[in-house]
Structure 1
Amino acid sequence: MKRYAKHLGIGVNWTKQELEETTLEGTSFKGFTDSAWMMYEIAKGRVDFVGWPLAINGVPLDIIDDSYGYDFDGTRFINFQAAVEFYQKAESLNKYLVDGLVSLLGQERFSYVLRVARLHPSISKKMADEVLAEITAQEFDRAEILQQPEHLSGQKEVAIESISSVTLGTERVEPEAIAWAMRRDIRDLLGLQQCEDAFFDEHEHLGGVAAFQLYHGLQLYLEARQDGTWGEQHDPNHSLW
């Protein structure tokens, strides 16, 4: 995975259809679009290769410890640090920012680490420090809220790890957005509209576009939940409400 990180990164940043439909011009770009997916598939095949089982006198050797390693997005890494290094290299993410985010958020929130880092691939150290400062403040506020009794904080405690993302059409509703609404007992579009300013204030560190995407996904989700049948049959988070 270390050797083929850049090639594997093609599959992280593109789909086969996107590469086929891209309109990049110039000789170098044309060569990339023609061969990129093939390079990705070759690298992926080598990384996913599974060796033959070993046996002594017909007795299989059970030498694979499935409890060891770190699983993320369908891939098993030898450990968490290997996953960090892979994504940083594969997507050319800012190492200083990624390391700082990992220190703040930990491996349990690695998807959030990547989301923030992807928004700032070429960020300066000064700007990275500002992003880290904003998230530090956000995490401090989050910790304080979780430590307060529910009747004082006005928010109920919801473990983001227990929330599943939801796909509505082409839109993906992220667990962070759903958790935000649950903690404030926001159950419909009217309640969300009344807290719109608070939502964008708390997510401004993601940048305008990313924050709007989170908000838009939450709008679609709350709208879908107004149909009680949809909530019971299709909402993986129905029991958490």
Structure 2
Amino acid sequence: MKIMCLNGWGGKLHEAMLPYLAAITPDILCLQEVIHSPSSGKDWLTYRDGDHILPQRANLFRDVTTALPNHVAFFCPAAQGVLWDGEMPIPSQWGLATFVHRSFPIIGQVQGFVHKDYSPVGFGEHPRSRNAHGVRVWDYEADRALSVTHMHGLRDLAGKMDTPERAEQAHRLRDLSSQLAEPGDLKVICGDFNVEPNSETLSILADAGMVELVTTYGFSRTRNSHYKKPGRFADYMLIDNQDAVRSFDVIYETEVSDHCPIILDV
């Protein structure tokens, strides 16, 4: 089973990302920073937050769903705010998406917030609402259940240091994963955590029996040439049984976001 985790960067590089996802066809895709604007037929809208202006693929969730027609698609909004079509405000939802190939029965789900709650009117002040989503599937080849839970961690304007809010979100993520998994399951946790490898977040998950794979396998970064700021880590994949790992990779050569895709085969 192939599990991919990727921050989609609002679909800014969708022309590269969509054919890449269709070619790789992960069995489970955990996608963060996904836009869903059901009232708009536009291809592109604009996100504005002070001097932070970013083009957004208006219906990235729909785009990826089309690129993966043999997957069951879930969209989990963290907030609804405004994107812009010129000077016209467009209500748009922002959050996570999970895609599961139809050959894997989905036998459980969990969805919840790791920071604040759903923000129905506006994206909110930083640090903004953050959620997590997990699926439990049956893997017939391995004759076992597997749970995969992912989140998009807090973006703190001050940096990626440890904070009480980040510690709390790590505890909530751990608890959501534990709520989903049953004894004997293979358990995976992943996402764009927005922290460094020596963070308290990863220590909390390690104390829960999870092995972090990015640094364990010697990868030096999870950001690529599109990311211009200091700090080369953001994305992580953890597993509770490293013996189940067939392969693990951070993809550098194909750039489909300012984050690198990370791929686990179990």
Common fold by TM > 0.5: no
**Higher helix proportion, which one?**
1
More strand by share: 2
Larger relative contact order (CA 8 Å, sep ≥ 6) = 2
TM-score normalized by the length of structure 2: 0.29
- The normalised TM-score by structure 1 is 0.31
